[in-house]
Amino acid sequence: MIPFNDLKPLHGMLADELAAAAKRVLDSGWYILGPELEAFEQAFAAYHGVAHAVGVANGTDAIELALRALGIGEGDEVITVAHTAVATVCAVERAGAKPVLVDVDEATSTMDPAAAEAAVTSRTRAILPVHLYGHPADMTALASLAERHGLALVEDCAQSHGARVGGRIAGTIGHLGAFSFYPTKNLGAYGDGGAVITKDAGLAERLRRLRNYGQTDRYHHAERGQNSRLDEMQAAILRVKLAHLDGHNAIRRELAGEYSRRLAGLTGIITPACRPGAEPVFHLYVVRHGQRDELMGALRERGIGTLVHYPIPAHLQEGYRDLGYAPGALPVTERLAREILSLPLYVGLTPEALASVADAVRDCARLLPSLPS
């Protein structure tokens, strides 16, 4: 059995450093908004070459608070995609705004700039692209679009820690970059966690208020906020892992490259594309096949764990029917949802295991008709 993901090998590599970090927190007796968080925020900001990072409770809060810090709320529209974790759409609504969902580019599964431009209205306040699967969106086109229309640009970087596009690191091209540190992320905590980065001191100051009940100093609240704080233990763990992020991303790129070499030329299988100038970090390695469910079942019988990210686009989810999108509204998104399959890829996946997965994909795909979805 080769699991889809296994976090234990990575923990084993860093066990001594992580244990020392945890002991440091426990010995300090300070567990919320303390020196570990401050140190991590400084390190995370420095890694991205920006002035400010603000730790929050999770990636959904990171997006919500980024929008709220920009003053976006009731009556405003935010353009984003349906081909994403539903958390992206949830965060827009929690900020009080209306999510306007657009289609994606078929090659990279990221926001189609032309579709985004067509969706701009007098109520549009922000564009929220998702750097899906670790591949950056077309930020050159989207930044130009945002500038032409006077819109805020907020990057959903939940799957793109360390990715680059045009030589610039994801999260630094827009006004704000929102990150998740869910345990399976390229930079993952041992629980929930998130952060927002920005070059703007005023936005950073407001984010720090909003994450802590709108508080300016003890028991003084300048505005309504919420409880969304990255705790000291997670901050200490993330400080350890951040120092290894580039090395671990390099491992992911090597694994992805080996998959692509082994699966090249296989009839019916589409391997991930890379936009020129992009440096993805392969949070996921996602292939496409017209008979995805049959391929997934055949691999399961061979002991290969796979997942689908994401089988039902946000606009077709039962809980979001009131947004008003009918089947067929986002054809590329819907076609991808029928075809995509995520293969095992994680730090600690051995070359032998990867070869076994690739061989199994080749064997199973040859037995399936390469029909369109």
Alpha helices in 179-267 (DSSP H): 201-210, 232-242, 245-263
The class that CATH gives domain 8-102+109-242 is alpha beta
The pTM for the full model equals 0.97
- In this predicted model, what pLDDT tens digit does every residue of 301-342 receive, in sequence order? 999 999 999 999 999 999 999 999 999 999 999 999 999 999
pLDDT at position 305 is 98
Q: Which residues of the chain have pLDDT under 70?
A: 370-373
pLDDT at position 370 is 61
The domain over range 245-366 is classified in CATH as 3.90.1150.10: yes
pLDDT at position 369 is 74
String of DSSP letters for 314-330: GGGSGGGGGG-PPTTSS
- Would you kindly state where each structural domain of the chain is located, as residue ranges? 8-102+109-242, 245-366
Buried b (16+ CB within 10 A) or exposed e, 208-238: bbbbbeebeeeeeeeeebbebbbbbbbbbbb
| Cα–Cα dist 60/193, whole Å | 9
Q: Give yes or no on whether 8-102+109-242 and 245-366 have one common fold.
A: no
Contacts of 197 (CB under 8 A, 6+ apart): 44, 45, 48, 50, 52, 53, 54, 171, 172, 176, 177, 179
Contacts of 240 (CB under 8 A, 6+ apart): 14, 17, 18, 21
The residue among 304, 307, 282 whose CA lies nearest residue 354 is 304
The residue among 107, 51, 97 whose CA lies nearest residue 77 is 97
| Cα–Cα dist 170/156, whole Å | 9
